[in-house]
Amino acid sequence: MKIIDRLNEDRIHISFEVFPPKTDDGIERVLATTDEIAKLDPTFISVTYGAGGGTSKNTARIASHIKNDLHVLSLAHLTCASSTKDEVRGVIENLKNLGIENILALRGDIPPNMAFPDGDRFRYAWELVGEIRRHGNFCIGAACYPEGHVENEHKADDIRYLKQKVDCGVDFLTTQMFFDNDIHYNFLYRIREAGITVPVLPGIMPITSASQMKRSQELSGTVFPRRFLSILDRFGSSPEAMKQAGIAYATDQIIDLLANGVKNIHIYSMNKPEVAAAIISNISEIITC
């Protein structure tokens, strides 16, 4: 089944993201984590892509497990910057053979010390979208950046590039994490004005430790509002208190989004099923009313 068909239903959808292990030795632990998250009855579970192709085969394995063993919709991430065009085509064919119908198309990070682009790699995510579209009847998701992509100086350019990507065949968008919902609402207004009409899933990341916040800021350049920084200052030195506060903050974001008519929420669970379960418990009555 295609994710876009579920997103078009008039109901609330909650989805989660998991990531493969850094080495093959951790695959059973990640599969067990995925099993626990699947018990929360998500609309789908997405699986991130191993950089450089080293553990990328586990993306397909986990996505297949989600779909074929757990009977939950799976979304396999696919990046193109670190792989040749033939390698990307091979991954697409493998996903097709496994019965995976949903792919999140991403450029991905450029590996250090690698000349990019070269003639044997896709340079932009819109090129990857077109390639996936040529290989079969996939549902294709893509990323968007409410605070602007770190490589684009002007937000107008960012939205113009996003429109180009969507026009190549994107069915839905998932946002990078954000911690101020007003940023998301403003972003939605601007992209709708630009003619981007596909569903947009806000990406919510529960920050449950000070080190996680630092890492998130390094990767995305996201802005943390004063309210969140106060939480970090007060509870960051206490792991259990910070975990509880981070879950509460993410829950509050989700409730506000739902109260304002947003029906699709994507949660970056960071392979922590207990955090995902706590959030679902906090909104269990809200998502059924």
Which residue among the candidates 9, 17, 87, 153 is catalytic per the annotation?
A: 17
* pLDDT at residue 222 is higher than 90: no
State the pTM of this model: 0.94
Spell out the residues 6+ positions from residue 200 whose beta carbon is closer than 8 angstroms to its own.
144, 172, 173, 174, 175, 188, 191, 264
Q: Which residue has the tokens 């959030």?
A: 279
Q: Can you list the pairs that 276-282 forms with residues at least 24 positions away whose Cβ atoms lie under 8 Å?
A: 276/16, 276/37, 276/40, 277/36, 277/40, 278/247, 279/206, 279/247, 279/250, 279/251, 279/254, 280/14, 280/40, 282/247, 282/248, 282/251
| Residue type at position 21 | P
Instruction: Report the residue count for the chain.
Output: 289
* Angle at 34 (CA atoms; ends 219, 284), nearest 5 degrees: 90
Cα–Cα distances in Å, from 140 out to 64, 255, 269, 288? 17, 27, 21, 28
Mark whether 17 is an active-site residue: yes
pLDDT of res. 57: 87
**Which domains does the chain show, CATH number per domain?**
3-288 (3.20.20.220)
Range from 13-17, 111-115, 160-164 carrying the lowest mean pLDDT = 111-115
Could you read off the pLDDT of 170-195 as tens digits, one per residue?
Answer: 999 999 999 999 999 999 999 999 99
Q: What would the two tokens of residue 264 be?
A: 């699709």
